[in-house]
Each structure stands twice: as C-alpha cells, then as structure tokens.
C-alpha cells in the first residue's frame, strides 16, 4: 500500500511539473522577432511553414567621422526538430562579405510567447529574440 501511495505521489508530481513547462512548438515561431547583437540589428519574419526572411543591419564605425551601414537579407527555414531549432540558410543578398554556416543548430534555453533565447552551436553567447508582431 505504501508503495502505491509513493508511486501515486510521484506520478502526480511528474504530471504537474511536466505540464507546467509548456513546449515551444513550430507554430510558436510564427511572426516577427527582433534581436540585437553588438553592432548588428536583426528582424526575422517567420512564416507558418518555417520559411523566413531575416534583415540584418550592420552598423560599422571606422573612427569618429566615418560610419556606414550594410543591409543584408537572408532567407531560409527555422524548424524545430527533436527539441533543437534548426536554421537552414538558403540565400544571402546585400553583401558578399557576410558569411554564415548553411545549417546551424540551436538549443532553446528559454521560450515564451514574447521571448526566445537560443544557444547556437556555432556561437558562445546566447541569442535573445523578442517578439515584435
């Protein structure tokens, strides 16, 4: 009887705590997300099928009087697969100097309806995205 009570209690705790952590789904990605990283501003619009258009604006300052911006557009897909966010870049326009890996894998560190924090496999720092629309 005691074993049954212990197992019942453990099951209830697992159920309650498991339900308290909502899963971030592919549908949750849909919309426009913005991020700021050093001198780069990013606006990423993700469609229901996972395809995206991301505008990267690089502000480059070469001293006190010289400043320029480079506007780069990237296209590809963001898909959630096996708990990872898979970013597949298919096209980059606007600069021949901007390079990216064709496929990057990200661990979702934290996610809710308005913020997404990703730890990409090709970067040491977390990427923080805020929902714009």
Residue 65: per-residue pLDDT? 66
For the stretch 67-99, pLDDT in tens is 778 889 999 999 999 889 999 999 988 876 666
Q: Which is higher by pLDDT, 9 or 99? A: 99
Best CATH choice for the domain 23-131 from the list 3.30.450.20, 3.30.1510.10, 2.60.40.10, 2.40.128.370: 2.40.128.370
Return d(Cα 104, Cα 112) in angstroms, integer.
Answer: 21
Residue 23: per-residue pLDDT? 73
Return d(Cα 78, Cα 108) in angstroms, integer.
Answer: 12
Return d(Cα 125, Cα 54) in angstroms, integer.
Answer: 20
Contact 48, 27 (CB under 8 A): yes
Q: What is the pTM of this model?
A: 0.73
Residue 59: per-residue pLDDT? 83
For the stretch 12-48, pLDDT in tens is 443 333 443 447 788 999 999 999 988 889 999 999 9
Domain residue ranges of the chain, discontinuous segments joined by +: 23-131
Return d(Cα 31, Cα 47) in angstroms, integer.
Answer: 7
């Amino acid at each position: 009887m005691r074993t049954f009570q212990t197992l019942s209690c453990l099951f209830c705790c697992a159920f309650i705590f498991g339900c308290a952590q909502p899963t971030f789904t592919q549908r949750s990605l849909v919309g426009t997300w913005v991020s700021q990283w050093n001198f780069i501003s990013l606006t990423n619009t993700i469609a229901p099928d996972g395809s995206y258009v991301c505008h990267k604006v690089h502000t480059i300052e070469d001293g006190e009087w010289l400043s320029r911006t480079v506007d780069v557009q990237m296209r590809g897909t963001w898909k959630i697969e096996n708990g990872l966010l898979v970013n597949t870049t298919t096209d980059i326009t606007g600069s021949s100097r901007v390079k990216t890996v064709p496929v990057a894998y990200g661990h979702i560190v934290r996610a809710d309806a308005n913020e997404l924090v990703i730890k990409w496999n090709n970067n040491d720092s977390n990427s923080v995205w805020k929902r714009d629309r």
